[in-house]
Amino acid sequence: MVNIQNLSVLLCLCLTVTLSACGGDDRPVDGPGTTISQDGSSTDGAIVDSGSSAIDAGSFEDTALLLDTASADTGSEDDTWIWQDTASQPDTNVLPAEPVALTIVPPQATLPVGGQIALAVTAKLDDGSSIPFGASVQWESSAVGVVQVNNDGVASALSAGTATITAQYLAITAKATLTVTPLAVTGLTLTPPVASIGIGATQKFSAIATLDGGSTKDITESAKWTVDNPAVAEVSAAGEVIAKASGSTTVRAASGDKEATAELTVKAASIVSLTLTPAAPQLSVGESVNMKLTASYDDNSVADVTAAASWKSSDTKVAKVELYNPGVVTAVGPGGANISASFGALSASRLVTVIAKPKKLTAIEISPDKTNAVVGDSIKLTAEGFYDDGSKADLTTTVVWSSASAAIATVSNDPKSAGTVTTTGAGVATITAAYDGQSTTATITITDAKLTKLEITAASGTVPAGLTSQVKAFGTFSDGKKIDVTTQAIWS
């Protein structure tokens, strides 16, 4: 029988393993995989790799790394040790070099809208060397509407501007600046290319740019607009032309060194009528409506003259016309207001009716929300509603009443007795009042004990003339409980 006297193992570190047995001769280790019997020993600094076998008698005293779980087994005399040579093993105590700085390559770049660039990261290590490090960082763009960057460092240009791209590893960061330039305009056209309108009418033109690569873009808002004959028509910065007098003119739009033209003819036809739509708008306070003024000419043509008309409200406390948005009418307060639009020598008007904004129910309260009762009692509950404008209202006959405990209490929805609870059994009843998306509950504790005594209490025994005092009634029941029955008592 072999006795193991001492076994010391420290996992995952360089350690000392000592196996001592009674007796036994020293035996040399021939190399990896050498099998030593129970009376052998090794002192050559090997790695103990026992797999699932048991480490038995013998002795080993040296620095080693335990590769697998070893156990002591004293019940068998022919167990063996497997020793593995460590001469070819790397030094596991050597730590890898760590990055101390990052660099994005390239640190600056310019690309057109729609272009892409692959960014790389180089890390400088604490041993002075440098290595590619892109796969280990997190990427971020300071302006995702201008440049987006994915997890691989590929940046995509979305719109003209500048974005700072950041690569981060732990607390170490690096930055690069990307400038996105707009695509070059290779051509410009106006739509419609030809238009004919009456005096006072408006015509909307659009500027369409052809970009490098063949794509198109609406640049109406950014183009520079002019007319050759401002006595005939004038044009806004958004390409909307208003006819002033009969004749013809050329409308021009320019972007950079590109220019496009359209021809406009203003007819000398006379206006015979104006029509204002919609006919009878009705708004809630805070709402708006777009009203349109249409001119009919003696040549049977029609034109939208909304932008060229003069607008007015008969009562700006009820409805107002937006100053910089012709035809847009906003409701201010309840009532009626005539909205008129004049163009040339004619005018048209419509009555705008404004109603108060519907108030919103925000909560319901039941009173009393907790009470006590005796079987057979009737209890009157009331419901009050609270609204978002700060007002409140009695909703007793409006809410829907229900009982979750119909076996012991029922509640009426009859307008004459709404909220009246009739108790039929002992227990705790839950009563709900619900209306317009809101609900609340009240609880009634019901006892079947008999009333044996009734007491009335007052805050003061003497009440001066003209003043009031709170009086309460308490009932003592056969089960010994004393309950506040103020709301159930009949007072006289």
pLDDT per position as a tens digit, 459-490? 666 767 777 777 888 888 777 778 787 877 78
**Is position 250 within any domain?**
yes
pLDDT at 244 > cutoff 80:
yes
DSSP secondary structure, 217-269, as one string? EE-TTTSEEEES-TTTEEE-TTSEEEE-SSEEEEEEEEETTEEEEEEEEEE-P
Q: Examine the domain organization and report whether 263 and 190 are in the same domain.
A: yes
- Tens digit of each residue's pLDDT (9 = 90 or more) over 287-305: 999 999 999 988 888 888 8
**Is position 226 within any domain?**
yes
- Tens digit of each residue's pLDDT (9 = 90 or more) over 418-455: 999 999 999 999 999 999 999 999 999 988 877 788 88
**Is position 210 within any domain?**
yes
pLDDT of residue 57: 38
Name the β-bridge partners of 348. Answer: 341
Is 311 in contact with 327 (CB distance < 8 Å)? yes
Q: Examine the domain organization and report whether 113 and 200 are in the same domain.
A: no
**Is position 6 within any domain?**
yes
Q: Examine the domain organization and report whether 260 and 308 are in the same domain.
A: no
Tell me, what CATH number does 261's domain have? 2.60.40.10
Tell me, what CATH number does 285's domain have? 2.60.40.1080
Q: Examine the domain organization and report whether 282 and 346 are in the same domain.
A: yes
Q: Which of 207, 240, 267 is the last residue of a domain?
A: 267
pLDDT of residue 270: 81
**Is position 397 within any domain?**
yes
pLDDT of residue 470: 78
pLDDT at 109 > cutoff 50:
yes
pLDDT (average), residues 207-229: 91
Q: Examine the domain organization and report whether 78 and 5 are in the same domain.
A: yes
**Is position 460 within any domain?**
yes
pLDDT of residue 459: 65
Q: Examine the domain organization and report whether 87 and 2 are in the same domain.
A: yes
Q: Which of 248, 267, 286 is the last residue of a domain?
A: 267
Q: Examine the domain organization and report whether 341 and 297 are in the same domain.
A: yes
The pLDDT-based confidence of 343 (bands split at 50, 70, 90) is confident
Helices (H), 59-101: none
Domain of 300, in residue numbers: 271-355
Q: Examine the domain organization and report whether 30 and 76 are in the same domain.
A: yes
Q: Examine the domain organization and report whether 403 and 338 are in the same domain.
A: no
pTM of the full predicted structure?
A: 0.40
Q: Examine the domain organization and report whether 330 and 405 are in the same domain.
A: no
Which residue, among 246, 291, 283, has the nearest Cα to 265 in the 3D structure? 246
Number of domains the chain contains: 6
Among 36-40, 253-257, 316-320, the least confident range: 36-40
Q: Examine the domain organization and report whether 341 and 375 are in the same domain.
A: no
pLDDT of residue 461: 63
**Is position 492 within any domain?**
no
Q: Examine the domain organization and report whether 434 and 456 are in the same domain.
A: no
Q: Which of 301, 332, 355 is the last residue of a domain?
A: 355
pLDDT (average), residues 201-210: 91
**Is position 490 within any domain?**
no
Backbone angles phi, psi at 134, to 5 degrees: -60, -35
